[in-house]
Structure 1
Amino acid sequence: MTTILDPLTPDEAARRLAQGRAVLIDIREPDEFARRRARGALSRPLSTLDTAGLGLTDGREVIFTCRSGMRTAANGQRLAAACGGAAHVLEGGLDAWDRAGLPVETDAKAPLEMMRQVQIVAGLLVLCGVVLGLTVSPWFLGVAGFVGAGLTFAGVTGFCGMARLLALAPWNRPARA
């Protein structure tokens, strides 16, 4: 059963935030939030919501957002339970907020989101495996098969070996002060 939270347009959400009546909670993962977010939004990743809660006690309305609104819509019941008070979803998510001309903070120095990195590397490996398999040796088609099997395993188990390897890459390590 999915609980449908009251949707708010970006303009209505911005109005409530400006009046101090609401707080904007971004449920995306930390790597997504670090790269691009609505100004003033608080990060409360969906993956930690059950254990960490929201940590809010001031009685303001909660407006949940993600990138496109799909995650908030799909997790309405969990989000409603986590806030314990008046809750809404930002219609269209951060993308709609940005299209409405509302303030967005971007950190171009933050690495690409891990999922995008996995998609790029997996796509390149499959493409190279197929091209090399057709032009050099059919044995290279095994690369495409291996990547497909890895992605299937990741989807079934929730463990992505490629994401673990990419997390060790120099561009994904925290900068040293």
Structure 2
Amino acid sequence: MSTSEPTRAATLDAATLRELIDSGRSPRLLDVRTPAEFETVHIPGSYNVPLDLLKEHREELRNHLDEDVVLICRSGARATQAEQALAGVGLPNLRVLTGGMLAWQATNAPIRQGRRRWDLERQVRLVAGSIVLVSVLASVFAPGLKWIAGFIGAGLTFAAVTNTCAMGMLLSRLPYNRGASCDLDTIVGQLRSPGGRA
């Protein structure tokens, strides 16, 4: 009897990952957050492959990822989506860092820090909250605007149920969240070169 439930991604906790890195047996670390989030803080030696780019070019990336791969994001949700996309093209040995960068930082593990930027989740809360607030306040003068708040609420509910976020994907494409090295050729070049790690 088959079930329609998706298989759970294999996971790796922060302490185990740190032991692997410290012992010289580090898996390939792919951070699927936006370039802005990656620039703010990341695990030394990780590669930034934003989720939208990974999903769009998973076939090409699969050819450069034949070893153990650990997928990293802020908390684990985007890394799980990345795991599903890469598993769909037959990539074995995928694991998701349990709790993402939040868990990694909670263990006081080594990090590389850059210029401080807002993470994508915080940007979504700001934009969604602002739209709801403005539409509710403006509905005093134009009652139909209250439906905008309802639409945003429905979108947030759908995002929670499906573990996806259309607003987050749109915000990730803004110049603020992109970097100069956020194209497929640059990422593939980094994956090919042992010296390309951050």
Could you state the TM-score of these two structures normalised by the residue count of structure 1?
0.66
Deviation of 1:71 (Å): 2.7
C-alpha contact 1:23 1:60 (8 A) present in aligned 2 = yes
Higher RCO (Cα < 8 Å, 6 or more apart): 2
1:139 maps to what in 2?
141
Equivalenced residues, count: 163
Distance 2:138 2:141 in 1: 9
Correspondence 1:1-177 to 2 at 5 A: 2-18=6-22, 19-50=24-55, 51=57, 52-53=60-61, 56=64, 59-81=66-88, 84-110=91-117, 112-114=118-120, 116-131=122-137, 138-139=140-141, 145-146=147-148, 148-149=150-151, 167=174
C-alpha contact 2:32 2:49 (8 A) present in aligned 1 = yes
User: Sequence identity of aligned pairs in percent?
Assistant: 26
Could you say if the C-alpha distance between residues 73 and 36 of structure 1 is closer, same or farther in structure 2, counting changes exceeding 3 Å?
A: same
Deviation of 1:62 (Å): 1.0
Could you state the TM-score of these two structures normalised by the residue count of structure 2?
0.60
Deviation of 1:124 (Å): 3.0
CA RMSD of aligned residues (A): 3.8
2:189 maps to what in 1?
none
Amino acid at match of 2:41: R
C-alpha contact 1:2 1:74 (8 A) present in aligned 2 = no
What secondary structure does 1:53 align onto? Answer: helix
Amino acid at match of 1:71: R
- Pick the structure with greater CA Rg: 1
Greater strand content: 1
Distance 1:15 1:87 in 2: 18
Deviation of 1:99 (Å): 0.6
